């Protein structure tokens, strides 16, 4: 209990426990009736820690008033949902008659919120019950705290609730808008959330009350005198999102905090014309609601939202504000759409591009035709941001005419002018230059011509260099070879790109599978050692992943000496050295062992600390595994001289391996020159006495049993248990023509499952061997997969805890359910033709495929048997969920199995 108290205390403590250790200790204290020795505060601290781990990701723990500071030090496996454990602890606090603290109410509310979302699709009545519990915890918190996290969680719960609770959601939000907590950051998110998802379900009176609350705040904010800070430096580069944030700040943020925004005066002027109750027309409730709908769409990537077309206003001043508001919102919404399209890897059709181009041109025409006498007071920064957004969209749509018109407008409007005495006049110039150069390049203008055109407008070298850097970085994401050409052209025009950008191009080339330019970056004198090491490290990582398909091992061996010379120039060479040590082990697998040993000898002579005892152990095992026995003996002499304390252990390792492969001459020579302890020698003798010879000749076994299929399977099983997979494959190849498809499948499954049981091999390597062997069987042996094969592939994938986290395991289980696996909650596929609903409610993709390694999981058309196929698979998922700390998911799968067995699925029932 003392260790748990030390873990929960805010004081620095090197001791860390996993959630499994905490759960085991907690249940032990509970069964031995000593849980009352923990105070209410300590139990609440444990709840905070579990709650923080439930909502955070490894490396990025969330912080708030209710999170635990120790979460940032926890292991990666502990970051998983622990809601069931939290509810158990809260129940124990009730049983011990401890009062609940505000943090307990908060995390209990979050737990009920997760349960309501899980039951929303499958059991709406249970979801409503959970929402009632959420509301109870919310009201308990409102009486004691005003923390924003409380309100945003409750608003999210109501927004995701059935339509009957939408009115309650809007009423609660309206109360929050009228309280002193109006300036909280949660109110804009909740308000725009309501506008996007529930706007059609609100009455006109409720909309008017919400708009009146917003308008009252705009009226108060407009009367506050603002003093904008002067200076050309900004915390972040300005873009169209800055204007969207300024508009939202004008509606919600208090004047003192919003005054720090560079564009707040412009946003308040626009909002005052549209939302101030003294200046708007009383009959325009729906129109004003569409203003906030446009802003909500601009703040998110969502594309769902219903509203009416905004009619033109009769007042020219108000119409100018409408155009300004609509322009910013449409530009931001379209940029968000293009960002989501690029991140998803999708491409837009020609018809869609032409439609977007027409929309942008219309918005441009409306914005530029507003007379300056009625336009809102724009600062130079605001105008530059809007024009830069038009240039960006014109480049993405490849609309050269729009780009040229916008470029001429920037010249006519004096957007390139900068006053030396006023540094704020340079704000936004860098964004404008970057967007113009990139748009010109995308539209087909040659680089030198586009750069000269930009030099005509501005001669500030840092602006030109930033524009070139931006263009190069954007091209490196899609066409790194062209980005490399831009680097050469820029250098020829005396516009030197930054070293970081040049290195980013080298990294992008490697990630796109292009390795022919490695020497150029390795010998680039303009790049510092750290950046060259970064490029080299990525190239080596790609070589370790793809091998000969990326780089020739002979070329890698030739470059190893320059790589180690580069490592000697680094202040912190350990990251590059780790990569180089891994490459040396990979080169042993690629038949370069003699040169690898020579490199190790040379490098260890100059830098003895670069190779640890663990590396020597791994290279010895790699040499022995690839039957490089004399090189292993040579390496043994080297590493024994560097680390004498491990000499006996390494000698025993080499002797045991040589003894197993019957290399008697080298064994006797090594034993004559090595000093081994009596225990090591006796272990060697005992292993020789215990050793039983496996089956020596596969062909002799095949000819002995002829057509006995049972003996085939039994022999393959024996070979797999001995680890002789090559011999097992030889037997499979010898009998495949005479074996039926079912026998071939059975023998192949035995070999595939044997790879999963291999020791001293990482889970990721086991999965790779299973996938490669399956692909080999399918292409060469006529192997037909069945449901057992699917289970083996999934078992190999689920064992890789580093690649498959708890969320991915839930998604994988839902995909299998949608493929036809039963859950017991609905009808079978044979009854109604539809699968059972997924238990975890993960969103389905249009084309659902399961990828194991680089292989798509096969779909089997034969019927499922519960005992042979379904139950083993579900047990694997239960184990996988518990390994990842997702106890709730594991219990849900156990409940599914119990429900299926209660329905009679265990009696040889088929799906």
Percentage of residues in the chain with pLDDT exceeding 90?
A: 18
Give the 3-state secondary structure of residue 852.
strand
Integer Cα distance of 874 and 911 in angstroms: 15
Integer Cα distance of 611 and 91 in angstroms: 54
> Taking 90 as the threshold, does the pLDDT of residue 530 lie above it?
yes
CA atoms within 13 A on the CB side of 90: 24
DSSP string, 481-507: HHHHHHHHHHHHTT----HHHHHHHHH
Task: Compute the mean pLDDT over every residue in the chain, rounded to the nearest whole number.
Answer: 79
> Taking 70 as the threshold, does the pLDDT of residue 262 lie above it?
no
H or E stretch covering 851:
strand 851-852
> Taking 70 as the threshold, does the pLDDT of residue 332 lie above it?
yes
In the prediction, which pLDDT does 197 show? 66
Q: What angle do CA 374, 379, 382 make, to 5 degrees?
A: 100
Q: What is the mean pLDDT of residues 270-283?
A: 67
Q: What is the pLDDT of residues 89-107, one digit of tens each?
A: 999 898 888 888 888 888 8
Q: What is the mean pLDDT of residues 208-221?
A: 76
Is the model more confident about 346 or about 783?
Answer: 783
Integer Cα distance of 892 and 840 in angstroms: 9
Is the model more confident about 63 or about 574?
Answer: 574
In angstroms, the Cα distances linking 199 to 131, 195, 249, 489, 768 are: 21, 5, 21, 53, 50
Helices 574-589, 529-546: axis angle to 10 degrees equals 30
Integer Cα distance of 565 and 610 in angstroms: 12
Show the tokens assigned to 485.
């050409």
In the prediction, which pLDDT does 229 show? 41
Decide if 501 contacts 471 (C-beta within 8 A): no
> Taking 60 as the threshold, does the pLDDT of residue 348 lie above it?
yes
Domain locations in the chain as residue ranges: 2-99, 612-691, 698-784, 791-911
The least confident of 198-212, 563-577, 666-680 is 666-680
In the prediction, which pLDDT does 307 show? 45
Q: What is the pLDDT of residues 757-780, one digit of tens each?
A: 887 788 888 888 999 999 898 888
Integer Cα distance of 16 and 6 in angstroms: 9
Q: What is the mean pLDDT of residues 620-629?
A: 88
Integer Cα distance of 306 and 159 in angstroms: 16
Integer Cα distance of 746 and 846 in angstroms: 34
Q: What angle do CA 442, 448, 454 make, to 5 degrees?
A: 80
Handedness of CA 435, 438, 441, 445 (dihedral sign): positive
Is the model more confident about 215 or about 551?
Answer: 551
Q: What is the pLDDT of residues 680-713, one digit of tens each?
A: 545 554 444 444 444 444 444 443 445 667 778 8
H or E stretch covering 856:
strand 855-856
**Local confidence band at 577 (pLDDT 50, 70, 90 cut-offs):** very high
> Taking 70 as the threshold, does the pLDDT of residue 853 lie above it?
no
Question: Which residues, other chains included, contact 64 with Cβ-Cβ below 8 Å and sequence gap of 6+?
Answer: 147, 149
Q: Which of 224-238, 411-425, 507-521 has the highest mean pLDDT?
A: 507-521
Q: Residue 182: which of 258, 272, 124 has the closest Cα? A: 258
Is the model more confident about 547 or about 421?
Answer: 547
Percentage of residues in the chain with pLDDT exceeding 70?
A: 77
Q: Residue 263: which of 278, 282, 281, 249 has the closest Cα? A: 249
Q: What is the mean pLDDT of residues 740-769?
A: 88
Q: What is the pLDDT of residues 793-847, one digit of tens each?
A: 999 989 888 888 888 899 889 888 888 888 877 544 444 455 667 888 766 554 4
Integer Cα distance of 387 and 369 in angstroms: 14
> Taking 70 as the threshold, does the pLDDT of residue 604 lie above it?
yes
**Local confidence band at 786 (pLDDT 50, 70, 90 cut-offs):** very high
**Local confidence band at 500 (pLDDT 50, 70, 90 cut-offs):** very high
Decide if 615 contacts 596 (C-beta within 8 A): no
Show the tokens assigned to 459.
């001669």
Q: What is the mean pLDDT of residues 598-606?
A: 90
**Local confidence band at 534 (pLDDT 50, 70, 90 cut-offs):** very high
**Local confidence band at 111 (pLDDT 50, 70, 90 cut-offs):** confident
Q: What is the pLDDT of residues 125-181, one digit of tens each?
A: 777 778 778 777 777 776 666 565 665 566 666 555 555 556 666 776 676 666 644
Q: Which of 17-31, 123-137, 508-522, 666-680 has the highest mean pLDDT?
A: 508-522
Q: What is the pLDDT of residues 2-18, one digit of tens each?
A: 767 666 666 655 567 78
Is the model more confident about 879 or about 678?
Answer: 879
pTM over 0.75: no
Is the model more confident about 115 or about 565?
Answer: 565
**Local confidence band at 243 (pLDDT 50, 70, 90 cut-offs):** confident
In the prediction, which pLDDT does 532 show? 92
In the prediction, which pLDDT does 258 show? 41
In the prediction, which pLDDT does 509 show? 92
In the prediction, which pLDDT does 716 show? 87
Decide if 243 contacts 386 (C-beta within 8 A): yes
The least confident of 21-35, 66-80, 298-312, 654-668 is 298-312
**Local confidence band at 538 (pLDDT 50, 70, 90 cut-offs):** very high
């Amino acid at each position: 209990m003392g260790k748990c108290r030390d873990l929960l205390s805010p004081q620095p403590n090197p001791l860390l426990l996993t959630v499994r250790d905490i759960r085991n200790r907690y249940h032990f204290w509970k069964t031995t009736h000593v849980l009352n020795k923990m105070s209410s505060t300590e139990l609440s601290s444990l709840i905070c820690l579990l709650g923080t781990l439930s909502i955070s990701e490894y490396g990025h723990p969330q912080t708030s008033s209710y999170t635990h500071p120790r979460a940032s030090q926890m292991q990666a496996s502990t970051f998983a949902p622990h809601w069931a454990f939290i509810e158990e602890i809260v129940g124990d606090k009730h049983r011990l008659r401890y009062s609940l603290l505000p943090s307990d109410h908060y995390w209990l509310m979050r737990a009920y919120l997760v349960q309501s979302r899980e039951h929303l699709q499958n059991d709406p009545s249970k979801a409503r019950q959970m929402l009632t519990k959420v509301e109870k915890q919310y009201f308990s918190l409102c009486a004691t705290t005003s923390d924003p996290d409380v309100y945003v969680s409750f608003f999210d719960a109501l927004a995701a609730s059935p339509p009957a609770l939408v009115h309650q959601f809007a009423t609660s939000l309206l109360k929050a808008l009228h309280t002193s907590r109006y300036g909280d950051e949660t109110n804009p998110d909740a308000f725009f959330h309501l506008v996007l998802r529930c706007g059609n379900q609100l009455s006109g009176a409720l909309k008017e009350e919400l708009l009146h609350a917003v308008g009252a705040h705009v009226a108060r904010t407009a009367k506050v005198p603002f003093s904008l800070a002067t200076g050309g430096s900004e915390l972040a580069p300005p873009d169209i999102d800055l204007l969207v944030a300024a508009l939202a700040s004008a509606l919600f943020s208090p004047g003192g905090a919003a005054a720090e925004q560079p564009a707040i005066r412009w946003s308040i002027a626009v909002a005052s014309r549209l939302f101030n109750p003294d200046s708007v027309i009383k009959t325009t409730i729906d129109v004003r609601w569409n203003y906030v709908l446009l802003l909500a769409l601009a703040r998110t990537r969502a594309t769902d939202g219903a509203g009416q077309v905004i009619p033109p206003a009769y007042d020219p001043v108000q119409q100018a504000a409408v155009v300004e508001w609509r322009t910013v919102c449409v530009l931001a919404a379209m940029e968000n759409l293009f960002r989501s399209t690029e991140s998803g890897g999708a491409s837009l059709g020609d018809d869609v591009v032409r439609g977007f181009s027409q929309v942008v041109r219309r918005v441009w025409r409306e914005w530029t035709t507003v007379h300056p006498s009625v336009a809102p007071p724009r600062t130079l920064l605001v105008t530059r941001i809007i024009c830069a957004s038009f240039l960006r969209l014109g480049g993405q749509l490849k609309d050269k005419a729009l780009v040229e018109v916008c470029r001429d407008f920037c010249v006519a409007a004096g957007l390139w002018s900068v006053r030396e005495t006023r540094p704020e006049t340079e704000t936004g110039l860098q964004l404008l230059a970057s967007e113009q150069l990139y748009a010109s390049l995308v539209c087909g203008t040659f680089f030198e011509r586009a750069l000269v055109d930009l030099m005509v407008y501005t001669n500030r070298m840092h602006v030109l260099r930033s524009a070139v850097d931006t263009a190069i970085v954007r091209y490196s994401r899609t066409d790194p070879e062209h980005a490399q050409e831009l680097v050469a052209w820029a250098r020829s025009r005396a516009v030197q790109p930054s070293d970081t950008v040049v290195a980013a191009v080298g990294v992008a080339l490697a990630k796109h599978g292009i390795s022919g330019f490695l020497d150029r970056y390795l010998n680039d004198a303009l790049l510092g050692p750290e950046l060259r090491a970064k490029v080299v490290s990525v190239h080596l990582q790609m070589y370790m992943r793809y091998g000969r398909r990326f780089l020739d091992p002979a070329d890698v061996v030739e470059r190893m000496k320059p790589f180690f010379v580069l490592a000697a120039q680094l202040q912190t060479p350990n990251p590059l050295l780790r990569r180089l040590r891994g490459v040396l082990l990979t080169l042993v697998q690629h038949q370069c062992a003699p040169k690898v040993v020579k490199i190790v000898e040379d490098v260890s002579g100059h830098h003895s600390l670069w190779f640890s005892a663990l590396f020597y152990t791994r290279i010895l095992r790699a040499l022995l595994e690839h039957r490089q026995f004399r090189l292993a003996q040579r390496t043994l002499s080297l590493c024994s001289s560097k680390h004498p304390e491990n000499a006996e252990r390494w000698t025993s390792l080499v002797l045991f391996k040589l003894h197993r492969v019957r290399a008697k001459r080298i064994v006797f020579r090594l034993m004559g020159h090595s000093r081994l302890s009596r225990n090591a020698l006796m272990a060697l003798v005992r292993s020789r006495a215990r050793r039983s010879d496996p089956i020596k000749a596969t062909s002799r076994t095949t000819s002995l049993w002829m057509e006995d299929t049972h003996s085939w399977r039994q022999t393959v099983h024996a070979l797999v248990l001995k680890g002789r997979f090559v011999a097992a494959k030889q037997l499979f190849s010898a009998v495949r023509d005479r074996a039926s498809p079912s026998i071939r499948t059975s023998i192949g499954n035995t070999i595939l499952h044997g790879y999963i049981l291999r020791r001293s091999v990482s889970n990721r390597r086991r999965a790779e061997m299973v996938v490669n062997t399956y692909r080999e069987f399918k292409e060469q042996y006529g192997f037909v997969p069945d449901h057992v094969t699917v289970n083996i592939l999934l078992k190999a994938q689920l064992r890789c805890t580093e690649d498959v986290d708890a969320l991915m395991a839930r998604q994988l289980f839902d995909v299998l359910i949608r493929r036809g696996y039963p859950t017991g909650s609905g009808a079978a596929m044979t009854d109604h033709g539809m699968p059972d609903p997924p238990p975890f409610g993960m969103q389905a993709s249009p084309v659902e495929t399961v990828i194991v390694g680089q292989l798509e999981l096969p779909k089997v058309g034969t019927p499922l048997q519960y005992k042979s196929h379904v139950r083993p698979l579900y047990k694997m998922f239960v184990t996988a969920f518990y390994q990842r700390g997702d106890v709730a998911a594991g219990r849900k799968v156990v409940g599914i199995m119990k429900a299926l067995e209660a329905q009679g699925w265990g009696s040889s029932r088929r799906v």
